[in-house]
Structure 1
Amino acid sequence: MKRILILVATAATLAGCNAGRSAMGGAEQVGAGFGAAVTAPLDDLNLRAQPIPMVLLQAESNPYDLRNLTHCTTIAAEVGRLDEALGPDTDEPPSQDGSYRSEQAADAAAKATLDAIRGTTTDFIPGRSWVRRLSGAEQHSRHVQSAIQAGRMRRAFLKGIGMQRNCNPPASPSWFRPKK
């Protein structure tokens, strides 16, 4: 009985330590993203433009290009470059990062805090939509979204080609099993 009480007390202490560590992690996230949130109006004034990765610009210019994609390894490398720019594809299972609920809650709270700061700093710009149009920020934002869409289209196309050529993932969707 005494051992059980000791184990329960130890588990409760460790859980408390984890919650405190999660809260500190959330505070660090807010601290790291604070500068970008406060300077968000620079994006609206087109003084700080988000760079578009070269792989997305290439996908935008020709999403169905097959040059130099003769082997599964080259297709997989191209899919890898797109994954790096876009994040994981929808066919990929969610990562099991082993995070605790307290860490997930701290991440959500940090994101909400940064969104509120970003919203407050951009709200003071009168006629914000006009400022974005006149400064070119709106056009750049549309170009970024177009490049992202082209990159997603290219990745799907490449995975289809990988399936046709009987390639292993990541040159094909993660659920695909090549025929032997």
Structure 2
Amino acid sequence: MRRAVCPGSFDPIHNGHIEVIARAAGLFDEVIVAVSTNYAKKYRFTLTERLTMARTTFSALSGIVVEPVGEGLLSDFCHDRGVSAIVKGLRTSSDFDYELPMATMNRHLSGVETLFLPGDSRYLHLSSTLIKEVSSLGGDVSGFVPRAVLRRLNGETGPDTRPVPIVSPRI
């Protein structure tokens, strides 16, 4: 089985993330959406909430699973799960500059390769930070996030088990 991981804090997950993950799912037998916690960041959503939003978002797709990364290195997480590639979406050249040293280190530590997918131009302006800021100031982010995230941003709790349509890539 060819398995890849798409790691991130996903605070919250947005359509730019979903588009890259959906494309990765077309390249691999299984994609693990690895929800991580960076203790240097301040989060709007708990790890449990981020996992729930991601699981709800991808519930209608086969071949995509959502797991917490937990403690330790991403390279160890990949090794333990037989992951052959890390998939990262890139919006700008600064994303590449940030991601390249990590990709090189992960390859050095465990042999896992990193594949960079350019983000769709419809979502290049999106970041989780911007989504949270616009939402907190009363802006409409409904076109940029899945329903499970929108509900949480609007203060709703409880499960939303309705599948969310996945944004299909344009080719």
- The normalised TM-score by structure 2 is 0.22
Higher helix share: 1
Higher strand share: 2
- The normalised TM-score by structure 1 is 0.21
- Which structure: larger Rg? 1
